[in-house]
Chain A
Amino acid sequence: MNNNETTTKNEMAPPKSSIGVPGWLKQNLFSNWWNTLLTIIFTVITIYVVKGTFTWVFFTAEWSVVSENFKLLMVGQYPDEELWRVWTALSIFTALVGISWGVWKGTMGHVSIFLGVVMAITMVVPFIAVGSRIWLAANIGLLVLGFAIGKQSEKLKKPVLVGWFLLVPIGMFFIEGFGLLNEVSTNFWGGFLLTCLIAIISIIASFPIGILLALGRRSNLPIIKWFSIIYIELIRGIPLITVLFVAQLMLPLFLGDTIELDKVLRAMIGFTLFNAAYLAENVRGGLQSLPRGQYEAAQALGLNKAKMMTFVIMPQALKAVIPAMVGQFISIFKDTVLVSIVGLIDLLGMAKKIIANPQFLGTQMESFVFVAFVFFMICYLMSYVSRRLERSLGVGER
C-alpha cells in the first residue's frame, strides 16, 4: 500500500503562468496607484521623446550632408580611380565571412546576416554611386557564395583560418600598394576606412605583445619581469593622447633619420603599445584564475613550458577573459577618434571638417548622429559576438 502510493503519484504539468496581456499589465504596471502614476508619466515622456526623434530624423534633419559627403566619410581622400582596391580588400573580407558562416554556422551566421543587411541597405539608398552599388551587390553575392562553398566541406576549416591570418597583410597590400600597385600614400586615407585600419591593426598587433607582457610579468627572470612591470605600469599611468603624441614626436627621435615612419603608422604604433599594456593585464587576470593543478598536471605529463602554455594554460586563460578583452577592443575602436589630435582625419575628424565648410553650415547634428550611429553599429556587433562566443565556449563553466 505504502509502496504503491509513492510510485503511482501522477506526474503533473507545472501550473500555468500565462496570465494574458491584461493580467501582465495589471500585475506589472498598474498594481497600485503609485505604479499607475509612474507608468503614465513614463509613457508620456517616452511618447514625447520618440515623437520628437521621429520627426527630426524623418522630416527636419538635412541628411544631404551625409549623402553628399558619403565617400569622404567612408574613405576620405582615397583617389577615385584606385577605389577598386578598397573594394577588393572588402570583398576578400566578405568572402571569408561567408565561408566561415558555412563552415562554423552559429555566430558567424549572425555576423554574415548583419553584414549582408548593412550592405543591402547601403546598396538601395538613393545617393550611392552606381559603381558602388555593383560592388555591394557583388559582395552580397560573395557572402552567399562563400556560405554555399563553406557548407560543402568541413575540410575548409584550416584554409579559412589561414585566410583570416592573411587577410590583414593582403588587405593592406591592396590599400597601400607596397610598391607593386600605385602607391596610395597614407595622407589620402581617411574617414571610416582610417578608423577601421587603425583599430584592426593595433588590436591584432597588440595581441601577441600583450600575451608576452603578461607572461613576462610572471616570469622568474628578474630582467624580463621588471621590464614587463615597468612597461605595463608606465603605459597605464599615461593618458592615451599622451601616448599618441609621444608616438608622433618621439618615435622619429628614437629611430633617427634613417627610418621614416609615416603618420598613420606612428599612430598605429601608439595604439598598439597602449593597447598591449591593458591586454597584458587582462591576460594576467586570466592566468591567475587558473588553479595550480592545471600547471602541475601539464608538467607531470612531460609538457615543456612552451607546450604547456600553448595547449593547456593560454586557451583557458584567454577564454576566461574574453569579455574583458572585447571590452578593451571596443574601447580602442572608439578611442581611434583621438587621432584627429595628431592631424589624421578619421570618421569623426572628417565629419568635423565637413561641417566647417560653409556649404553645410548648421548640420552638426546630422553629421554627429551619423558618426554615432556607425560607431554604435560596430561596437554593438563586437559586444554581441563576444556574448555569443562566451556562451558557445562555456565561459564560467569549468
Chain B
Amino acid sequence: MSMQDEAKPLQGREDMIEVIGLNKWFGNLHVLKDVDLNVKQGEVVVVLGPSGSGKSTFIRTLNALEEFQKGEIHIDGINLSNDVANIEAIRKETGMVFQQFNLFPHMTILRNVMLAPIWVRKWKKDKAEKIAFELLERVGIPEQAHKYPGQLSGGQQQRVAIARALAMQPKIMLFDEPTSALDPEMIKEVLDVMKTLARSGMTMVVVTHEMSFAREVADRIVLFDYGEIVEMGEPNEVFENPKHERTKAFLSQIL
C-alpha cells in the first residue's frame, strides 16, 4: 500500500480527520479556540507550540480521551459524539502513543501487545500472537517479548507502546510527545520507528519538540498558541518563512 500512497498526491485523497470549529474549556479556562483542521489519509501532521498551548488537549480530544464542548470531529467519517458506540469505533481506528509510555506493568511485552487485538478485535490467540511478533520485529525488539515492561529501557518501552498501538491495525496514529521522557541516546531509535511508519503511509498526528523530525517527515506543520492554530503550512514555509509574529517568536526560542 505504501508505494501507491507515495505516488498519489495528498490533494486527491479523502480526509481521515476532520475538525470543525472545535472549542474546549477546562472550567473557565478556554483551552481550545475555534480549531479547524483536516488531515488527509496518509498525511503526517506535526503539531508544535509552547508549553500549555493546548497541544495535548487537542490531540486527546481526537480519540475522546478529553471531551469538548463545541464543534465537530469526524474520524474516518465517524462523528465523534457522546455515543459510546461511536467512541469505541473511533478508538478502534486510532492508536495513541503517550509521553510516559503507559505500558501495562503486570503483563509481559507480548501480552501488552496482544491484549486489545484479542479482546477488542476478537482475534484468535494464534493470530494475535503472530501479528504481535511481526510488530515487535518491526520495532526491533522481538527478543524482549517475554520480559516485563519494567525490565526494558525507556526507548524500548516506547517502541513496544508503538507496537501495541499498531497491533489494533489503526488507520490513524496519534503521538503526544513520544520522545520527551527519553534520554537523548534513545530518542533516535524511537524517531526511526516513527519515520518508517510515516513512510509506510500511516496517517499521523504528532506533537513533538523534535524539529529535525518535523522538517524531515511532516507533510504539514501546525503551530498552536493559547489554544489557537496560529500558523499552518508545509515545513519549509513555516520554518524559513513564518508569517505570524508568534511563530517567529516560538521558532527563535526553539532553534
Contacts and interface: CB of A to CB of B under 8 A. Distances in A.
A311 B91 CA distance: 18
A302 B104 contact: no
B165 A319 contact: no
A304 to B, nearest CB: 6
A301 B88 CA distance: 9
Interface in A295-331: 296-304, 307, 311-312, 315-316, 319
A301 B168 contact: yes
A154 interface: no
A307 B116 CA distance: 10
A291 to B, nearest CB: 8
Contacts of B152: none
A303 B104 contact: no
A301 B100 contact: no
A14 interface: no
A299 B106 contact: no
Interface string A266-295: 000000000000000000000000010110
Nearest to A306: B119
Contacts of B161: 297
A299 B116 CA distance: 10
Contact of A300 (B84, B96, B119): B96
A397 B106 CA distance: 10
Nearest to B117: A301
Contacts of A302: 88, 91-92, 116, 120, 168
B121 to A, nearest CB: 8
Interface residues of A, number: 20
Contacts of B65: 296, 299-300
Contact of B98 (A297, A303, A312, A316): A297
A303 B119 contact: yes
B202 interface: no
Output the residue of A294, A297, A398 with the most chain B CB within 10 A.
A297
Please classify how large the interface on chain B is, using the bins under 10, 10 to 19, 20 to 34, 35 or more. 20 to 34
A298 B119 CA distance: 11
Contact of B102 (A296, A315, A319): A296
B150 interface: yes
Interface in B204-232: none
Interface string B145-165: 000001000000000010011
B45 interface: no
A397 B148 CA distance: 11
Given A307-B119, A398-B150, A301 B165 contact: yes
Given A302-B120, A398-B150, A296 B98 contact: yes
A301 B106 contact: no
A189 B116 CA distance: 49
Output the residue of B119, B150, B164, B165 with the most chain A CB within 10 A.
B119
B247 interface: no
Nearest to B105: A398
B205 to A, nearest CB: 13
Given A301-B116, A302-B120, A307-B119, A315 B100 contact: no
Output the residue of A294, A300, A398 with the most chain B CB within 10 A.
A300
Q: Which 5 pairs, one residue from A and one from B, show the smallest C-beta to C-beta distance?
A: A297-B102, A293-B102, A301-B116, A300-B96, A302-B91
Interface of B: 63-65, 84, 88, 91-92, 94-96, 98, 100, 102-106, 115-116, 119-120, 150, 161, 164-165, 168
